[in-house]
């Protein structure tokens, strides 16, 4: 028995999503067959408008409905303190923590040579320009503590330092470049932590 | 930071799908932000047309693009041998096995009192009518071997027997009502099999 084209189309669309295999795609599609048409139309409309109704902020490159985004245009926030993240979702996670009152810079990826993503494919140049042109006191590089994320962080730190050295601006000399703290996550078990995490946790110990 | 409405809409649509939680919904949505608009439009169109371009077969109630479906209208298949399944996906799984050359009857669910699904909510009456009116030699009830699936199978078997007894048709007396074989699945480990599976495997032993 051939699967009808209309069903196969939806299955194929689901299969392209990350983390959804052929079986899950089938399951989701057949679930949707039992859903009212209005619900399907709403889902379809939302997908159609996803990119049309969102813009990249021209300052920090996060995804929002306004340009500049609500964070970059917020006068209450410290516009001289930039947190560099890989993805817009990281912005949301950090915002939820409520700890950071600066602004962001979204790279939209990480340097990942295995997937043909070099420094020019992500928004690193824009960050360097932003730091050179603007009034920036600190850049905290908050890429993920993965191999690619660490490499990206090191590359960015180096680029920023080169750009500081080029300029003889006194203010730039005071620019702080930092990396987000790494160590044991809350609720972790030292017994089960991996070696690198423990090394980083020792390096990153704080005084009482 | 508020998530833009356009993004929130897609997240909410994904969240309604079974097995997709808030985090996965976010991840899928932000993945789609990087996908070309043409791809999004294709996905949207597929969802919109999912129900419009499919029909329930009026004989077996499977989902297809024709009525009657390609199986019910296939003269090569044994139209007197009916396999009763819960969902259209079960039809596809059984078709892939290539073992069954009869026709199907899709219940679109199982009797599940906890979720307010009684015998009248699924296509049981239609099965009984089909057996009473048609030329049927065997009905193999292939609902899932779960609690609800077994209860549904027993209920269907009883209903079919009642309808046979009512009719004094000689042919109907010969109707075989069977249940799909239960036992150890291929690759299983007796050591780890649960008790009920082992009981069923003993009951269902076959002679060499």
Can you tell me which residue has the tokens 């209920």?
B155
pLDDT at site A206: 84
B46 touches chain A (CB under 8 A): yes
Residue A34 has pLDDT above 70, yes or no: yes
CATH fold of B76-203 reads: Dna Topoisomerase Vi A Subunit; Chain: A, domain 2 (3.40.1360)
Which residue among A3, A42, A89 places its CB closest to the CB of B30? A89
Instruction: Choose among A118, A62, A112, A65: nearest CA to A85.
Output: A62
**The token pair that represents A131 in the structure block:** 């730091």
- What tens digit of pLDDT does each residue of A73-95 get? 999 999 999 999 999 999 989 99
Q: Where are the alpha helices (DSSP H) in chain B?
A: 5-15, 22-32, 37-52, 88-97, 124-133, 147-166, 170-173, 195-203
The pLDDT score that the predictor gives to residue B49 is 94
Residue of A nearest to B54 (CA): A6
Q: Which SS3 state, helix, strand or coil, does residue A8 take?
A: helix
Give CA torsion, residues B165, B167, B170, B172, to 10 deg. Answer: -70
A47–B43 C-beta distance less than 8 A: yes
pLDDT tens digit string along A109-130? 999 999 999 999 999 999 999 9
Size of interface A-B (CB pairs under 8 A): 158
Predicted TM-score of the model (pTM)? 0.78
ipTM of the prediction: 0.79
Q: Which CATH number fits domain B5-53: 3.40.50.970, 3.40.710.10, 1.10.8.420, 1.10.3720.10?
A: 1.10.8.420
Distance CA B69, CA B61 (A): 9
- Tell me whether residues A70 and B30 touch, CB distance under 8 A: no
Determine, for residues B47 and A28 on separate chains, whether the beta-carbon distance falls below 8 Å.
no
**Are B5-53 and B76-203 equal in CATH topology?**
no
Report pLDDT for A4.
Answer: 87
pLDDT digits (tens, 9 = 90+) for A157-182: 999 988 877 766 555 668 899 999 98
Domain coordinates in residue numbering, chain B: 5-53, 76-203
Mean pLDDT across chain B = 91
Q: Which residues of A touch B5 (CB under 8 A)?
A: 53, 65
Structural tokens at position B199: 């009981």
Cβ within 8 Å, pair A71-B1: yes
> Which of A84, A86, A119 is CA-nearest to residue A105?
A84
Name the fold adopted by A74-203: Dna Topoisomerase Vi A Subunit; Chain: A, domain 2 (3.40.1360)
SS3 at position B14: helix
The answer on pLDDT for B111 being more than 90 is yes
Match 């005071």 to its residue by tokens.
A174
Are A7 and A33 within 8 A, CB to CB? yes
pLDDT in tens, A179-197: 999 898 988 888 998 998 9
Residues across chain A: 208
């Amino acid at each position: 028995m051939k699967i009808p084209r209309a069903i196969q189309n939806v299955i194929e669309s689901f299969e392209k999503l990350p983390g959804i295999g052929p079986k899950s795609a089938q399951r989701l599609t057949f679930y949707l067959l039992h859903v009212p048409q209005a619900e399907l139309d709403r889902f379809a409309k939302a997908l159609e408008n996803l990119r049309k109704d969102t813009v990249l902020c021209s300052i920090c490159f996060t995804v929002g409905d306004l340009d500049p985004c609500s964070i970059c245009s917020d006068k209450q926030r410290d516009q001289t303190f930039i947190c560099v993240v890989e993805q817009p979702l990281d912005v949301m996670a950090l915002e939820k923590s409520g700890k950071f009152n600066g602004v962001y810079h979204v790279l939209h990826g990480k340097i990942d040579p295995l997937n043909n993503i070099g420094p020019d494919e992500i928004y690193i140049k824009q960050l360097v320009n932003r730091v050179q042109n603007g009034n920036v006191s600190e850049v905290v590089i908050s890429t993920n503590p993965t191999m690619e994320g660490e490499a990206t962080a090191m590359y960015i730190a180096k680029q920023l330092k080169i750009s500081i050295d080029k300029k003889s601006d006194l203010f730039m000399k005071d620019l702080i470049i930092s990396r987000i703290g790494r160590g044991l996550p809350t609720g972790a078990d030292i017994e089960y932590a991996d070696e690198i995490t423990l090394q980083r946790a020792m390096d990153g110990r704080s005084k009482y």
